[in-house]
Amino acid sequence: MPLLFHKKPALVVYVTCGDPNLATTREIVLAAIEAGADVIELGVPFSDPVADGPVIQRASERALKHGTSLAQVLTLAAEIRQHAQSTGLIIFSYLNPILRMGMKKFCAVARHAGVDGVLVTDLPVEEAGEYLQAMRANDLAPVFLASPTSPDARLKQIAAASKGFVYAVSRTGVTGARQQLAADAQKLVRRLRKVTKLPVAVGFGISTAAQFAEVGGFADAVVVGSAIVETIERNRGREAAAVAEFVCGLSAVSHQPSAKTG
């Protein structure tokens, strides 16, 4: 898998596919890419999103009411890939939809769609043997979550299994924008840098340009999810334009020189 981060800090944008509908999701993603997003996480809606806060839970409920499926998300990924050759595409899913499709089939379809990697939010690295085998067979990058509470031995295991980048969770708990970022995020990035040379992306709770700049000072990439999904929720009828405006404000930060630490 090619390196996804072409600038630092890179901007990773998460969207819940199918909210408000798949056609609009396509417009939103292409607008986000045009506005400066480096990587897109295509969220697969799930009926029991235990790792997500209320904003993404509501988005998943709306998407599922329209019947949005993993197969449709993969078709959307293929359409986006046709228009964006160099943007990183990550499927962000819970394990259940993948198991329903079949692990081998999912990985094969994802590869043909032009997907770069996959993040399965509720699959522990200790139980990922079959998944990793199928991912390797299809030249896909498995991305795992590392949390501030993970012991060093587990961080090493996560780093060894990951390709492309490691996703550092800025704090414990569910997703959702926060006014202040936990200091644990920078400490976790430092710990990860001791066990891997992969880029480290930090997510969970980042919602403003100031927070983006703060995290970009010590991480290779910043993931913005709930703030994007909330922007979509609040701007019915002009979702793509609103997301483009928001992403422009964030991506402008990534073009500014920053003193990297950690």
Rounded CA gap, 144 and 22, in Å? 26
β-strand partners of 118 = 91, 142
Determine which one of 19, 52, 116, 239 is catalytic: 52
Please, what is the angle between helix 129-137 and helix 103-113, to 10°?
30
**Which regions in the chain score pLDDT beneath 50?**
1-3, 173-174, 176-179, 257-262
Give the DSSP letter string of 164-201.
Answer: S-EEEESSSS-----SS--THHHHHHHHHHTT--S-EE
Active site residue 61: no
Helix axes 152-161, 184-193, angle to 10 degrees: 60
Contact indicator for 206, 229 with CB cutoff of 8 Å: no
Q: What tens digit of pLDDT does each residue of 246-260 get?
A: 999 997 776 554 434
**CATH superfamily of this structure's domain 10-254:** Aldolase class I (3.20.20.70)
- 3-state DSSP assignment of residue 42: strand
Indicate yes or no: pTM above 0.75: yes
Q: What values do phi and psi take at 17, rounded to 5?
A: -70, 135
User: Measured between alpha carbons, how far is 48 from 64 in angstroms, rounded to an integer?
Assistant: 11
pLDDT of residue 256: 54
Which tens digits make up the pLDDT trace of 65-115? Answer: 999 999 999 999 999 999 999 999 999 999 999 999 999 999 999 999 999
- Containing 158, the helix (H) or strand (E) segment is helix 152-161
Catalytic residue among 19, 41, 233, 239: 41
Q: What is the pLDDT of residue 179?
A: 45
Task: Please say if 79 is a catalytic residue.
Answer: no
Residue 4: its pLDDT value, please?
A: 59
Evaluated on CA atoms 16, 19, 21, 23, the torsion sign reads negative
What is the domain partition of the chain in residue ranges?
Answer: 10-254
Give the H or E element holding residue 58.
helix 54-65
pLDDT of residue 53: 86
